[in-house]
Structure 1
Amino acid sequence: MQQIQLPQGMKDTILQECEKKKYLQNTLEQIFESFGYEEIITPTIEYYETYENAFKNIQTTDMYKFFDENGRILTLRTDMTVPIARVCASKFKDSKPPFRYRYTSNVFKVRQKFAGKRSEVTDCGIELIGLDSKSDVQVLCCALEVMKNFKNYTLEIGNVQFFQAACKVVRLSTEEINTLADLIDKKSMVDLKIYLDSLYLSEKIVDFFMHLPFLCGDVNVLDEAYAYCFDESLKEVLDSMKECIQSLNELGCLENVTIDLGKVAHLDYYTGIIFEGYVSGVGTSILSGGRYDCLLKKFGRDLPACGFSVKLDPLIDHVDVQLKKKFILYYPESKQTEAMKQANKLRKEGSVILEPSLNETIYVKEVE
């Protein structure tokens, strides 16, 4: 007999896993709602061109694609930020910003065989659209409120402008910027030095890029970073970050915050602050976000924006849930109606399963 299998990268969520995931979702949604974010639900399917319009270097191999009846390419959404940008630029084109949206939706990415990652995950997040970088602290506070629900967490904060400003001063080409970013992100120090030497840059500029991967740690890293700044524009980025960190400190939210100025991923998307949340025991970031001031413009409405999403599935085993009581009510078939009446009363304490029995009396057993 042929074994029934799931497609690669897919996973069933069952029984107590569902309870934990639902509890986690409700907890996060209550936090987002308390910060004034309103829910948006978008279709699972988008036109491929919607994502093609959003990203310069779209990874088509990561997308589930198919055709509609007219031959246009469709795709399962790979994130929620792009669909929300589309909605904001169309449904709310005549509305005055700022907009505060929240969502809980499944997103899809094709994962390579043996990669060990899921192709369908549930993202729960927010988007703050229409306010500039001075509002970053609001988004960070919301992210930290989420992280407080887990033990031993860290929120890493960086800013892609630090790297971008340096590249702009040096007048590097797009290809050179992408190569540098890849080497810095991977912390490939030998290859990074060889590549920097090939660009014939000054010693001070090379020193900046060589130290960038290691400018990470507690908030004092920001003070250390000033020593490597070879232009005023770099100092301005650090000044902005210090102002944000100072606000977090005054709000009592700095305890689990670290700095990583070597975060240079997704340069065609992020335009400022970038951050990731980590929980002890989970092998990947569970929260990620940042500022993306250029995305909405691609949909016809030039608005700054900042947001983040939380991946619920890796957190299922890291959330403490007080599960509801469960009872099994055994009854003889002759007393089914009486048993149902008793079950209705008992459901105020928890869930009740009615189970026929050969015994002549009704009795209840609590499930451990």
Structure 2
Amino acid sequence: MFLPDGSQDQIGDSLLKKQRVYQIFTDVAIRRGYKAIETPVIEYAETFTNPHVGIPFQQLLKWFDREGDIEVLRPDWTTAIARALMKLNPKESKWFYQGSVFTQDKDGVESRQAGIEMIRTKPIEGEIESLFFAIDYLSAVNIDDYLIELGHTGIYEKIIEPLMFTTTEEKKLRQAMHDKRQDVVKALTERNQTVQKQLLDLIQAYGESSLLDEYKQIFKDETDIVAILDELQDLVNVLKQLGIDQTIVDLGRVKQLPYYSGTMFRGYLTQTGDECFSGGRYDKLYQQFNQSTPAIGLAFDVDVLASAITIEKKEKIAIIASSETYVLAELKRRTISDKIVDVLYTFPTDNAYDDIIDLRNEGVE
């Protein structure tokens, strides 16, 4: 039988690496004081398509239930966890999760994530903890060649205020900014040349953190934007104090989901350029529950991290047993630790083992 497009089986080292990434993530999260949370893999579509979340309906894997309501496979952990926390109302504020999300906007419909969510966290404190967690975790999986990118939703949003765009127009502009399509941005902003120039310049505002000082001068009369740039500079300084110099900024970055409302960050593997984590502040998400709850989180791409790590090869031992010595062979296996031990009943014909212990005639008269 064949699988649907985008689905895949997993075997061998690839699966073991993913399990290793999950296990180390759990260890780091528990050590840093996070509590585990899990949501159902099946949810109602409205949880993710409402205006506060805004995941496009066509990206969801969906069907009708027996009552005619639309159900979906979980496309987003952050939204699902927000729903669960509002229902369960726990006192804890630091949560971790791991598992799959399902969307139709990638090559594969299933992708594996491990992440953290923090609610009731003040600005800068939550950002610092999120980035420190990322650094701690990447170190634990022996990945040290990466780049951290910082951005903020507020710069773009402050600049476009004079445009008075409709929702449709703003969505087109946001997508053009995300794709760094200068031609589309220019066409959409013809009505205001000042804003047009600022946005076109912002598309190019990507690179070393020294850009922050440059743009403080450009926007010196915009106190809200200067405050945002100061916040990003504070994060750069904190990371430097921790010994992390691989920090860049993308001042033209825009949010892809409506609930992001502040600082955003991403991590990239230097050798491949693959995005290994992403996240940010999403204080607006809880408004759908009539709550004003500051929140922040980040998610790691387990598939990317698994492809980047190596699993230590253990010595492989074969114990050769007979029908008279299989109990003896099992007892011998239990005395050998930190090695892979196979009990065989025929002598191996390949070179798959580092050592062979022959117990076929041991103790047999």
Give the TM-score taking structure 2 as reference length: 0.88
Provide the alpha-carbon RMSD of the alignment: 2.4
Taking a change above 3 Å as real, the CA distance of residues 241 and 13 of structure 1, as seen in their structure-2 partners, is same
Q: Distance in 2 between matches of 1:316 and 1:56?
A: 29
What are the superposed Cα offsets for residues 89-143 of structure 1, whole Å, 9 maximum, x if unpaired? 1101xx44x61000111111124xxx6x221121100001111212211212212
One-letter amino acid matched to 2:42? I
Equivalent position to 1:200, from 189, 192, 195: 192
Asked if 1 retains the 8 angstrom alpha-carbon contact of 2:111 and 2:303, the reply is yes
**Residue 361 of structure 2 aligns with which residue?**
none
1:313 deviates by 1.1
**Residue 44 of structure 1 aligns with which residue?**
41
Q: Distance in 2 between matches of 1:73 and 1:225?
A: 46
Asked if 2 retains the 8 angstrom alpha-carbon contact of 1:144 and 1:155, the reply is no
Equivalent position to 2:230, from 239, 257, 261: 239
- Equivalent positions of 1:88-167 (< 5 A) are 88-92=85-89, 95-96=90-91, 99-111=93-105, 117-135=107-125, 136-148=127-139, 149-167=142-160
**Residue 2 of structure 2 aligns with which residue?**
5
Q: Distance in 2 between matches of 1:48 and 1:180?
A: 26
One-letter amino acid matched to 2:128? V
Give the TM-score taking structure 1 as reference length: 0.87
1:289 deviates by 0.5
What are the superposed Cα offsets for residues 201-231 of structure 1, whole Å, 9 maximum, x if unpaired? 33xx332111101111121111111233263
- The answer for unaligned runs of 5 or more in structure 1 is none
Q: Distance in 2 between matches of 1:217 and 1:85?
A: 33
Identical positions, percent: 25
Asked if 1 retains the 8 angstrom alpha-carbon contact of 2:150 and 2:232, the reply is no
Taking a change above 3 Å as real, the CA distance of residues 170 and 237 of structure 1, as seen in their structure-2 partners, is farther
Q: Indicate the SS of the match to 2:192.
A: coil
**Residue 355 of structure 1 aligns with which residue?**
344
- Equivalent positions of 1:152-301 (< 5 A) are 152-196=145-189, 198-202=190-194, 205-229=195-219, 231-250=222-241, 252-282=242-272, 284-301=274-291
Asked if 2 retains the 8 angstrom alpha-carbon contact of 1:139 and 1:307, the reply is yes
Q: Distance in 2 between matches of 1:163 and 1:200?
A: 15
Q: Distance in 2 between matches of 1:159 and 1:287?
A: 16
Q: Indicate the SS of the match to 1:308.
A: strand
- The answer for unaligned runs of 5 or more in structure 2 is 357-365
Taking a change above 3 Å as real, the CA distance of residues 325 and 72 of structure 1, as seen in their structure-2 partners, is farther
Taking a change above 3 Å as real, the CA distance of residues 296 and 16 of structure 1, as seen in their structure-2 partners, is same
Asked whether 1:73 is paired with 2:70, we answer yes
Q: Distance in 2 between matches of 1:10 and 1:282?
A: 24
Total equivalences in the alignment: 349
